[in-house]
């Protein structure tokens, strides 16, 4: 027992699954308890949030609808962004296109709020397309940034191996960068999923006609309806955690070798 307690504060000490689970449950419980006790008018307590969550689920049909709207927007946005980002990243290896990829990376610093107007002018009649375009504009630079840093980290010996196997540069690119790193593309998507949700709530807040959780947040904040806002945040949080997990599972399932790269 004493040994186990010592292990809790030792760097690199690994706990077994059961102990880790107990630790997570324990720490969560303590956090919730502290939150509940310290709650005030401005910060709704966990019980308040749960209450408004269930009221919303039962009495507000729009809630479910908005979840679905946001989810479908997020899937479309993520899917298209991933394909676009991969394409741009691959092209960046060809000198002709590398300046373009570098510019796109820098677009991280452009904020969506200011560009909203331009997009509205360009796409006046199609709120869905407008939202998707804003979303792509918001996500792709982050995807490309992460993916390019993965490509930068490829050991040059792997390219040397391809040369000695007489692959030409296109075959090398296919083997090492495309096939060899497709699992990491999925990982980049997983890691950036959170960013996509930030973008979605922003985009839906900017472009309210189509509904969605982002629209709900903006509307609720006009009425300072804190319970609802927090309930929506909670929903987004758990959806995020859920998809994070699912994407991780899918990655291990599609690419069994990724399990081996986690050093225990």
Partner 1 sequence: MSHTIQELLLKVHQVNLRYDKQILRDVNFEIHNIVRPDMNQGQVVSLVGRSGVGKTQLFKILAGLIKPSTGKVTIDIDQHEVKPGEVGIIPQNYILFNHRTVYHNLKIGLDFSGKKISEKEEQDIINEYADKFHLREHLKKYPMMLSGGQRQRVSIIQQVLTGNKFILLDEPFSGLDMLMIDRVVDLLLNVSTINDFNTLIIVSHDIENALAISDTAFILANQEGQEGATITEKIDLVSLGFAWNPGIKQNAQFQELVAGMKHRI
Asked if residue 250 binds partner 1 (CB under 8 A), the reply is: no
| Residue 31: φ, ψ to 5° | -60, -45
Asked if residue 65 binds partner 1 (CB under 8 A), the reply is: no
Span near partner 1 by CB under 8 A; candidates 65-73, 115-123, 161-169, 217-225: 161-169
Q: How many CA atoms lie within 13 A of 124 on its CB side?
A: 1
Q: Judged by CB under 8 A, which of 79, 163, 241, 246 binds partner 1?
A: 163
Asked if residue 6 binds partner 1 (CB under 8 A), the reply is: no
Closest CA to 194 of 247, 150, 244, 138: 244
Question: Is the dihedral angle over the CA atoms 133, 137, 140, 142 positive or is it negative?
Answer: negative
Span near partner 1 by CB under 8 A; candidates 39-47, 120-128, 139-147, 150-158: 150-158
Q: Judged by CB under 8 A, which of 14, 38, 59, 155 binds partner 1?
A: 155
Residue 209 DSSP one-character state: G
The C-alpha atoms of residue 136 and residue 87 are separated, in whole angstroms, by 14
Asked if residue 180 binds partner 1 (CB under 8 A), the reply is: yes
Q: Judged by CB under 8 A, which of 9, 17, 260, 264 binds partner 1?
A: 260
The C-alpha atoms of residue 144 and residue 89 are separated, in whole angstroms, by 6
The site that binds partner 1 (CB under 8 A) totals a number of residues, namely 22
Distances (CA, A) of 162 to 87, 152, 159, 172: 22, 17, 5, 6
Note the residues at the interface with partner 1 (CB under 8 A).
155, 157-158, 160-161, 163-167, 171, 175-176, 179-180, 182-183, 255-257, 260-261
């Amino acid at each position: 027992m004493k040994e186990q307690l010592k292990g809790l504060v030792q760097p690199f000490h690994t706990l077994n699954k059961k102990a880790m689970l107990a630790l997570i449950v324990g720490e969560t419980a303590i956090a919730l308890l502290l939150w509940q006790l310290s709650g005030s008018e401005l910060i709704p307590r966990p019980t308040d949030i749960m209450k408004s969550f269930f009221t919303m689920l039962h009495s507000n049909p729009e809630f479910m609808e908005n979840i679905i709207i946001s989810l479908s927007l997020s899937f479309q946005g993520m899917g298209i962004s991933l394909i676009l980002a991969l394409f741009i990243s691959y092209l960046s290896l060809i000198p002709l296109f590398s300046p373009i990829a570098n510019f796109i990376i820098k677009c991280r610093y452009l904020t969506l709020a200011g560009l909203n107007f331009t997009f509205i002018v360009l796409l006046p009649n199609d709120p869905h397309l407008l939202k998707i375009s804003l979303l792509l504009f918001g996500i792709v630079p982050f995807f490309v940034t992460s993916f390019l840093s993965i490509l930068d980290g490829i050991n040059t010996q792997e390219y040397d191996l391809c040369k000695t196997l007489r692959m030409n540069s296109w075959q090398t690119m296919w083997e090492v960068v495309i096939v060899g790193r497709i699992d990491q593309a999925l990982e980049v998507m997983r890691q950036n999923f959170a960013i996509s949700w930030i973008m979605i709530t922003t985009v839906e807040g900017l472009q309210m006609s189509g509904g969605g959780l982002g629209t709900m947040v903006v509307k609720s904040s006009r009425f300072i309806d804190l319970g609802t806002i927090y309930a929506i945040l909670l929903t987004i949080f758990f959806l995020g955690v859920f998809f994070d997990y699912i994407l991780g599972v899918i990655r291990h399932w599609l690419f069994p070798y990724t399990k081996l790269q986690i050093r225990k």
